[in-house]
Amino acid sequence: SIKGYEQEIEKAATSEELYQIKVKYLGKKGLISGLNKQLKDVPNEDKKEFGMKLGELRNGFEALFNSKETEIAKSELDAKLEKEALDITMEGFPLSAGSQHPIMSIYYEIADIFGSMGFEVAVGPEVELDRYNFEMLNIPQEHPARDMQDTFYISDEVVMRTHTSPVQARVMESKEPPIKIIAPGKVYRCDYDITHTPMFHQVEGLLVDKNVTFADLKGTLTTFIQRMFGSGVPVRFRPSFFPFTEPSAEVDMGCTICGSKGCRVCKGTGWIEILGSGMCNDELYRHAGYEPGIYSGFAFGMGIERIAMLKYGIGDLRSFFENNLKFLRQF
């Protein structure tokens, strides 16, 4: 019977189902609309009653339909809101900030120590003239020291600097003593194995003034090493050769290597070289245009990676440059 709509509306669960019911009864070909069309064929005396019944039927349908429509709209909205709800108590993803590279941390430690002794920071170019990298440092053409350092040549006159020592020459050329500087930076040598990478970092030091002696060199470098590695660390100065210093000394420290598994005395002699140094060769003053016989001074150079390896107990130099976050996050 046409009263079936009551049950149908009652059972409708979605607005789509409800809409289909509306079509079925009130649509153009709907059941109630069909009755409307029959009205004209009803005998006149019955028309009034038929019309009233039809009106009631339509009103009944619409009342039921509207209340169901409100009910479904509400429950559908509730479901939608529930589904889209934002759980503001949910934990977010942690944002990881970058951190300082261990080479930089060690450099800042070095710079702090020399800074506290009154050294200032100077810099020079990484792409350097042969003149500063070699000539001015008393390393002429054909000098065997040029082979000692496997140089990357850009052209006959231009090289990737093989050490930070050219900054010495540049600073001396630009000013008269007193000079008291460190010069950090990248240096380049054509070499690659467990203890060599084609790019690494050095810190140069230069002090030129009147009456500077070898004792000043020893005192300065001993202080540096003991501030860096501990006040009890033994330090030894061993005669050596560099074309730009005379006399020259390599500086060793008694080594204990400390890592995550504790500390151990390093292999071999128990000493490890960490610095090259010496009293500035008079040739450098001559190149700088200083009047002879007035000034004396010392210079030194060290590899930052080597110091970092000793300090952190790292075995493979190459790990500094592989950008492995597991490695880098340890520092």
Least spacing, CB of residue 298 vs ligand PHE, in Å: 8
Of 197, 243, 301, 310, the one binding ligand PHE (CB under 6 A) is 301
By beta carbon distance, the residue nearest ligand PHE is: 301
Please return the burial class of 50, using the count of CB atoms within 10 Å of its CB with bins 0-12, 13-18 and 19+: middle
User: Integer distance in angstroms from the first to the last C-alpha of the chain?
Assistant: 83
Contact segment (CB under 6 A) with ligand PHE among 117-125, 172-180, 192-200, 296-304 equals 296-304
Pairing mode, strands 120-121 and 179-188: parallel
CB of 300 to ligand PHE, least distance (A): 5
Q: Residue 185 interacts with ligand PHE (CB under 6 A)? A: no
Contact call for residue 242 and ligand PHE (CB under 6 A): yes
Find all residues with CB under 8 Å of 132, minimum gap 6, and list them.
124, 161, 166, 169, 170
DSSP conformational letter for 95: P
- Per-residue contact track with ligand PHE, 75 to 114, x per CB under 6 A? ----------------------------------------
Half-sphere exposure of 232 (CA within 13 A, CB side): 1
Q: Of 76-84, 193-201, 274-282, 284-292, which part binds ligand PHE (CB under 6 A)? A: 274-282
Nearer to ligand PHE by Cβ, of 128 and 204: the residue is 204
Question: Between residues 114 and 242, which has the closer beta carbon with respect to ligand PHE?
Answer: 242
| Omega before 140 within 30 of 0, i.e. cis | no
Phi and psi (nearest 5°) for 303? -90, 125
In this complex, which beta carbon is closest to ligand PHE, that of residue 144 or of residue 232? 144
Q: Is 119 a binder of ligand PHE (CB under 6 A)? A: no
Which listed residue (278, 285, 297, 305) binds ligand PHE by CB under 6 A?
278
CB 320 within 8 A of CB 102: yes
* 277 lies in the binding site for ligand PHE (CB under 6 A): yes
Stretch that binds ligand PHE, among 6-14, 40-48, 80-88, 275-283 (CB under 6 A): 275-283
Q: Kindly tell me which of 108 and 241 has the beta carbon lying closer to ligand PHE.
A: 241
154: number of Cβ within 10 Å: 13
Q: Which residues of 184-206 are buried (b: 16+ CB within 10 A; e: fewer)?
A: bbebbbeeeeeeebeebbbbbbb
Distance CA 249, CA 255 (A): 18
Q: Position 218: which residue type? A: K
Positions touching ligand PHE (CB under 6 A) are 163, 165, 204, 242, 245, 276-278, 299-301
